[in-house]
Structure 1
Amino acid sequence: MQTAIMVLIVMTIIGLLFGLILAYVDKKFAVEVNPLIELVEDVLPKGQCGGCGYAGCKAYAEAVVLDESVSPNLCVPGKEEVAKAVAELTGKSAGDVEAKVAHVRCLGDLSNTVKKYDYKGIKDCTAANLLQGGPKACEYGCLGFGTCVKHCPFDALTMGSKGLPIVDTFKCTGCGSCTIVCPKSVIQLRPLGSKVQVNCNSKDKGAQVRKSCKVGCIGCGLCMKNCSYGAIKLENNLAVVDHHICIEKCSEATCLAKCPTGAIKKITSAMDLQEQSKEEAAANS
């Protein structure tokens, strides 16, 4: 009985001793946290998307508070509102924030493209891409397994019935998470006010494009020749739109009329589609 009591006393003393040592070490080596970091983190959208270039919202909050060279407008999902809040908290100048949304540069759905083989593997674009670049004959097209959809932190992407991702421009924050995970670099960010878009990512010459896809850009240059403002150029056999020139100068998209495959199209925003749905519903009521 006495032995048990002595063991208990010794263990209690040892526990207290270690507790005092740990308390001393904690106080001695404690790192003081700047309270401003938590305030900045609180105004961020918490998407943890990495669009700012840092590993999550907390990492960006630490950087923008502690490093004078880090801009307060790097939170893409937060847009101008968050940029102003972070600038006010840190005493920095926010500058302009350009709103962007994701754009899927491919119309090659199941009915328009040629397949090289039947893929039976994991339903993941990265995995499929490891096997001869995927099942589609076009080496640059969307593989259609929805890896971008799974990685969108704001649920702004859904898979359409024809095997291509669809962007909800109301939900899309332009964080760029989808652009990072796409093994074909099919998705890019475009300014929110863009008027036309090239729905193709192929760098192949026209003859090869026609063999693999009915709606791909064949690099004919007709859209470029019909643009009055020089907003379209051919790069690696692909028409590329300078959206800023297009937004600032163009009032009528003359580039669309001559495209033989329909690869370049006028952008219909989510708001336009919503208004169209309302009109149709009212007409049918």
Structure 2
Amino acid sequence: MAIDPLPPLREVIRTHDLVAKKQLGQNFLLDLNLTAKIARMAGDLSGSDVIEVGPGPGGLTRGLLAEGARRVLAIEKDARCLPALAEIADAYPGRLEVVNADALSYRPEGLTPPIRIVANLPYNVGTELLVRWLTPDVWPPFWESLTLMFQKEVAERIVAKPGSKAYGRLALLAQWRTDARLVMTLPPEAFTPPPKIHSAVVHLKRLDEPRFPANAATLSRITAMAFNQRRKMLRSSLKGLVPGVEDHLSAAGIDPTARAEEISLERFCALARQIDA
């Protein structure tokens, strides 16, 4: 079933000779009903401006617009995709702005809150972009929610719980400041070209305040040391953090012989407050 009067994506790719480039982390999602479903995972878009990173030939872009996004700002590094995106802009007058830029350096302006970020992120920059969105100088950030597609392995790290192999700094960072949920899994054959791995969509809704009080820099330093040597007991991996680290661990309710993957976000935040105090 068509979601708009524009041509099917396979035809768009053929017309504009858009062969996915591995060096750009491109894998195109061609099922427009699927892209519309991903757009719906972001919630009611009718009153929101949306930032999309790496739209490629515009499958998700069309889904966002068809689902009623007030305005979409699409940031595309690959100039080959611009003519295809221009055709979408013509079909949705005044609702799509396309910027030929690198999302790692481009700073969006002129958007009207509420702002959501929805993207099938290029594999090679996805995690870096997520970390940047989660670590602004001021919280809460400019965005209301993130609905992002990653490699399934990365998505599982974002929502992982203590005690699992996937649990680490990315889970702590995401869950400290957002409600993070894995909302969809996609097989390789959903993409062109098919990647070697499954993909997954994660929805992160920002919290107005972090889940537990802690200084961001202190928490980052603690978790970096703890998970860089995750097989060691915390009394060893955090040995150089501060003098008497075992006493600080005990005061924060943490067994000094425990390992990083066993410790909850709440306990890590308690340790950060204890260190700062």
Provide TM-score, normalisation by structure 2.
Answer: 0.27
Flag the structure with higher strand content. 2
Provide TM-score, normalisation by structure 1.
Answer: 0.26
Rg comparison, structure with higher value: 1
